[in-house]
Chains A and B, each alone.
Chain A
Amino acid sequence: DAMVIQNPRYQVTQFGKPVTLSCSQTLNHNVMYWYQQKSSQAPKLLFHYYDKDFNNEADTPDNFQSRRPNTSFCFLDIRSPGLGDAAMYLCATSRVLSGTSLDTQYFGPGTRLTVL
């Protein structure tokens, strides 16, 4: 089935040790998103890509970077994880319909990051 895949599902890292989370999709959607979600909070958008155009949210820390080498893959790099970065990281995809109308977002299963 077409889907959004995230690896790994669970990631443990040490304080300050760089970590990369990956996302792939078989939906051929042109928009990909990274969200951070902490317990009992709404998903918080970190950045998104429309094709190769990168859009960074104003309040996304510089510690977070992203790469989208092709339509199917997107990576989230956390350069120096802090204890406050422990969260669920959700990847989502969507497509732009006619004009500027946006289709629904499809989420991957998420990667739960633990920082020791």
Chain B
Amino acid sequence: GQNIDQPTEMTATEGAIVQINCTYQTSGFNGLFWYQQHAGEAPTFLSYNVLDGLEEKGRFSSFLSRSKGYSYLLLKELQMKDSASYLCALNSGAGSYQLTFGKGTKLSVIP
């Protein structure tokens, strides 16, 4: 089975940097995904890590350590529109075509 943990809520200031952590336990691993979901909307893909290290995409970066079962999403130069839930999701591989989602971290960006 799989277990994914994320903080429930975070608050950060516009223009700042925020790090959203995700820890997981899994029997197999074939990639970790981060999605952004605004209230009442569908999740949209942000980033994907399958190897250890940092993946950078503009203001968003994601880091993975497979040995520690740990990932984080880093958001720089926060904007008000970044207020959303951020979902960490795991593919366990081994022929699985499924993603297991964490409950998400609700980020509130304040002026």
- A-to-B contact residues, CB < 8 Å: 31, 33, 40-43, 45, 48, 50, 55, 88, 90, 94, 96, 100-102, 104-110, 112
Interface of A is mostly: strand
Taken together as a complex, chains A and B put the C-alpha atoms of A46 and B93 apart, in Å, by: 19
* B45 partner residues in chain A, CB cutoff 8 A: 104-106
Q: Is B27's CB within 8 Å of the partner chain A?
A: no
- B-to-A contact residues, CB < 8 Å: 30-31, 33, 40-45, 48, 50, 87, 91, 93-104, 106
With known contacts A101-B30, A102-B91, A110–B97 Cβ distance under 8 A: no
The list of the 9 closest CB pairs from A to B, nearest first, reads A107-B42, A42-B101, A42-B103, A104-B45, A110-B42, A31-B97, A100-B95, A102-B91, A107-B43
User: Nearest-CB distance from A86 to chain B (Å)?
Assistant: 14
With known contacts A50-B97, A107-B44, A109-B41, A42–B30 Cβ distance under 8 A: no
With known contacts A108-B42, A109-B41, A110-B42, A42–B102 Cβ distance under 8 A: yes
B41 touches A96 (CB 8 A): no
* A104 partner residues in chain B, CB cutoff 8 A: 33, 45, 48
